[in-house]
């Protein structure tokens, strides 16, 4: 139907589906009302026809061997033309010959049922009189005499014009009342629908009056229960857009702030090389270090942006955390070998829902941070352990640990622990864990005497079912 295929307003949709069925019901009811009214009018007037035909039948008698019909003047008045309808009668004698009344009224073609229990019952039927439809009552009246010779046929007919006129009059009056009822229903429906849609109009006005950068949750007053899911979904969208906007603003601020320093250093080094303040090889080495630092910072900024992008629209799949841990260890093995570190990998099969790149980036950043803070010839490792209700990932090192008051601040972008800048590595880890609804925490590793022997980064995931072999 067009109501479903075309975009229409809610008001038009509600009005159509409320008023149209009621209108159709009124039309159908009016049709049946007219039929029932006509039936009731016929029943009432048919009783008069039956009474008339019996009255005439009671006046028949036999005189001198002949059938006589002696109708008083008062009885004949109803058979004259009047303003309402016209009534005609006909009497046929014992031999089937016309006796009295109107010859133009067709004779009844039915036969008397002599074996009937009630032979004096009148028969009602419809016929035509001079081209006009009439309703006729026919009666086979037994004639009482010393030697009865049979029955006489008495017919009384009435034109149907007045019956139809009366039925139409009743129908029109009822139809007018139905139309008035429909007008009342339409008015009440318009009022109720308008009142019901007022919260939507209020929500629209509230959104129209907002500033372009206002993404705070909407709270229209007196919102009905049916509108609450839509408002929650809209507020959820506002929250996601606000988070995306905040991320972009942080990205621009971090990029402009952090890239300014290496670029300024690089410019100073170039100027120093042009002036000949130091040997060219020394200047080029310093410039290479500065470029490497700027490149690493740019890669971290791009990784942070990619995490936010995948948080919003990235597909989720079942990932093998142990396999991703092995891949991260292989990728960073040159750094491990450069510091002659003792690396331990204890990874059992464990599956979690997430994006493979994000999980790989999480493990790589945690492992890279552990390598950076572990002294030469030290030890570090990765553990992956599945549990009944969680999957645990640990990346531990043998560095100097972290101050208790700095455990939470290290996840802030470019935070510093001691004299070493934290960069964006742990910030990226925190964003990845938050997007997966997991939990990350840092704990100092202590020996039996309570001395700090390193740092343990622990991430807890919700487990996923093992994927099918296919």
Residue 116: the pLDDT is 45
What is the tens place of the pLDDT at every residue in 65-74?
A: 677 776 655 5
Domain count across the chain? 3
Same structural domain, 163 and 68: yes
CATH of the domain at 129: 3.30.450
Q: pLDDT value at position 413?
A: 65
Cβ atoms of residues 317 and 355 within 8 Å: yes
In a domain, 430, yes or no: yes
Q: Is residue 205 part of a domain?
A: no
CATH classification of the domain holding 283: 1.10.287.130
Question: Range of 129's domain?
Answer: 29-167
- Residues 323, 455: one domain? yes
Looking at 262, 287, 311, which one is the last position of a domain? 311
pLDDT in tens, 99-136: 888 889 998 887 766 544 445 578 889 899 988 899 99
Q: Are residues 331 and 405 in the same domain?
A: yes
Are 321 and 451 within one domain? yes
Residues 345 and 245 occupy one common structural domain: no
Q: Among the three residues 311, 337, 366, which one is the final residue of a domain in this structure?
A: 311
Q: Report the pLDDT value the prediction gives residue 257, as an integer from 0 to 100.
A: 65
Provide the pLDDT confidence category of residue 145 given band limits of 50, 70 and 90: low
Kindly list the strands in the beta sheet with 151-159, ordered across the sheet, starting from the edge strand earlier in the chain. Answer: 98-101, 87-92, 151-159, 132-142, 123-129
Domain-embedded: residue 74: yes
Q: Are residues 259 and 382 in the same domain?
A: no
Show which of 167, 183, 208 is a domain's final residue: 167
CA 396 to each of CA 363, 367, 419, 423: distance values in angstroms, whole numbers, following the listed order: 12, 8, 21, 19
pLDDT score for 61: 77
Average pLDDT over residues 428-441: 87
User: Using CA atoms, how far apart are residues 325 and 347, in angstroms rounded to an integer?
Assistant: 8
User: Does residue 217 form part of some domain?
Assistant: no
CATH number at residue 320: 3.30.565.10
């Amino acid at each position: 139907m067009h109501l479903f295929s075309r975009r229409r307003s809610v008001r038009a949709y509600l009005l159509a589906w409320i008023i149209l069925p009621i209108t159709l019901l009124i039309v159908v009811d009016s049709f049946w009302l007219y039929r029932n009214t006509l039936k009731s009018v016929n029943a009432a007037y048919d009783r008069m026809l039956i009474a008339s035909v019996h009255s005439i039948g009671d006046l028949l008698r036999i005189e001198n061997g002949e059938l006589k019909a002696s109708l008083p003047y008062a009885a004949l008045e109803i058979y004259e033309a009047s303003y309402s309808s016209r009534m005609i009668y006909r009497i046929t004698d014992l031999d089937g010959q016309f006796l009295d009344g109107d010859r133009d009224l067709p004779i009844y073609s039915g036969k008397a049922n002599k074996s009937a229990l009630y032979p004096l019952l009148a028969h009602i039927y419809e016929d035509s009189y001079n081209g006009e439809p009439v309703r006729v009552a026919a009666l086979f009246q037994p004639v009482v005499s010393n030697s009865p010779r049979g029955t006489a046929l008495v017919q009384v007919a009435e034109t149907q014009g007045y019956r139809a006129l009366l039925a139409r009059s009743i129908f029109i009056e009822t139809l007018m009342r139905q139309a008035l009822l429909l007008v009342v229903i339409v008015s009440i429906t318009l009022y109720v629908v308008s009142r019901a849609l007022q919260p939507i109009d209020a929500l629209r006005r509230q959104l129209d009056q907002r500033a372009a950068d206002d993404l705070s949750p909407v709270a229209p007053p007196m919102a009905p229960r049916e509108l609450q899911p839509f408002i929650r979904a809209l507020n959820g969208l506002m929250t996601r857009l606000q988070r995306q906007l905040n991320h972009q603003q942080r990205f621009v601020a971090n990029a402009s702030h952090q890239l300014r320093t290496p670029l300024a250093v690089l410019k100073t080094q170039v100027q120093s090389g042009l002036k000949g303040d130091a040997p060219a090889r020394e200047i080029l080495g310093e410039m290479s270090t500065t470029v490497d630092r700027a490149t690493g910072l740019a890669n971290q900024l791009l990784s942070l942006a990619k995490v936010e992008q995948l948080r919003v629209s990235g597909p989720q799949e079942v990932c093998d955390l142990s396999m991703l841990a092995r891949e991260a260890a292989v990728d960073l093995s040159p750094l491990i070998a450069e510091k002659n570190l003792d690396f331990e990998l204890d990874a059992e099969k464990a599956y979690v829902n997430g994006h493979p790149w994000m999980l790989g980036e999480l493990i790589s950043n945690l492992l890279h941070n552990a390598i950076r803070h572990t002294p030469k010839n030290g030890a570090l490792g990765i553990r992956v352990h599945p549990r009944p209700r969680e999957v645990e990932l640990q990346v531990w090192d043998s560095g100097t640990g972290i101050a208790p008051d700095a455990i939470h601040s290290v996840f802030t972008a470019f935070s510093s622990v001691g004299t070493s800048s934290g960069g964006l590595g742990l910030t990226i880890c925190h964003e990845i864990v938050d997007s997966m609804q997991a939990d990350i925490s840092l704990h100092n590793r202590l020996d039996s005497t309570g001395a700090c022997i390193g740092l343990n980064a622990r991430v807890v995931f919700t487990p996923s079912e093992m994927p099918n072999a296919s």
